[in-house]
Amino acid sequence: MSEIITTPPVSSTGRTLRTEEMILNMGPQHPATHGVLRLELVVDGEIVVDVIPHIGYLHRCFEKHCEHMTNYQQVIPYTDRMDYVASMTNEFGFVVAAERLLKIQVPERVDYIRVIMAEFQRIASHLIAIGTYGIDIGAFTPFLYCFRDREKILDLFEMTCGARLLYNYMWVGGLSHDVPPDFIPKAKEFCTYFKPNIKELNDLLTYNEIFVKRTANVGVLPADVAINYGCSGPMLRGSGVDWDLRRDDPYSVYHKFDWDVCVGKGEMGTVGDCWDRHIVRAREMEQSVRIIEQALEQIPEGDVHAAIPKRIRPNPGEVYARIESPRGELGYYIVSDGSATPYRIKARSPAFSNLSVINEISKGAMIADMVAIAGSIDIVLGEVDR
């Protein structure tokens, strides 16, 4: 009688599983993964032993599309579609890189409007992050509050350029439209309206006892691990690292404003836990309002189309420019061969680097905590996959 040989199960990384371990898939269509992300969990009962993220379900060849455009301006609608909840910021990063390559100095009014739009976009993005994070933990009401306020920001975008999600607003050398006459009073009105709402949101969610217990001391990311993995944005600052490109590698006119960098301090648990990452985003909205109010008061007159080149054909060369997106360091590396079409474009996605650390901060967590950990990273798969 022949002997029956059984092969021990293995994970997708080739790791042999112990007999008490099993593989559990979260995604790619799962309410807690914030997009088409598959998390392959190796679990021992309720304890997470290993996490392998599987990406690529939303890959759209962004970089190769850009390299086959007729000119540089045609790249901008493609940047919109990477981080599609922060499209203004994607455009901002690309035009900063292209203008450095072309050695273009834009009018000061353009810089001010770009900063205003980028900070409104940061607030809108963080409202989605906070609102959906509440749903992850089981709180539905904050989601409604967040989307109510986000709609008011989208109204401002719509009255400026006619779009609410994908804008094609920031062009190389300028903007597609100047702000309409009633934009500034309505923007000031929003800032006055929104400031007390941040406190209301914190009272409702951030300091809620159940929310604190679900997020404090969960998914702790030490500062050295965050740095080694290339984390940035609230993911890095939540670990107590005082680093923000708007202050530490200034671009546009951010150096003209008075504001503070928000960092995690371990107020409810350990520095670098899920709660710290959440509170950094909540407090950044307050700082964005400060920047917007100062910019609205100081905005100069000027022509937003004055520096837009009729023909974009940069000299052969290369450039890397980075900005602070709502998710962290968004960088564009552009290589020019002297033609009207970019020879090479590479986008550095902050969400991609932030997601890569998920295995480090999830080991030993409960399966239910994986929902809190994944939500605290604030990924957008359009940017991760590109």
DSSP for 296-363, please give it. Answer: HHHPPP--TTTT--SS--PPSEEEEEEEEETTEEEEEEEEE-SSSS-SEEEEE-HHHHHHTTHHHHHT
pLDDT recorded at residue 8: 62
pLDDT recorded at residue 66: 87
Sheet holding 38-44, edge to edge: 22-26, 38-44, 47-54
pLDDT recorded at residue 27: 77
pTM of the model: 0.92
Domain regions of the chain by residue span: 62-362
Token duo for residue 144: 């409604």
pLDDT recorded at residue 34: 79
Arch. (CATH architecture) of 62-362? Orthogonal Bundle (1.10)
pLDDT recorded at residue 2: 45
pLDDT recorded at residue 7: 58
pLDDT recorded at residue 243: 94
192 near 115, Cβ under 8 Å? no
360 near 262, Cβ under 8 Å? no
The SS3 call for residue 10 is strand
- Mean pLDDT, consecutive 10-residue stretches, the chain (386 aa), reads 54 72 83 82 91 89 86 91 92 94 94 96 96 91 94 95 92 93 95 94 94 93 94 94 93 93 91 94 96 95 91 92 94 92 92 93 91 91 88
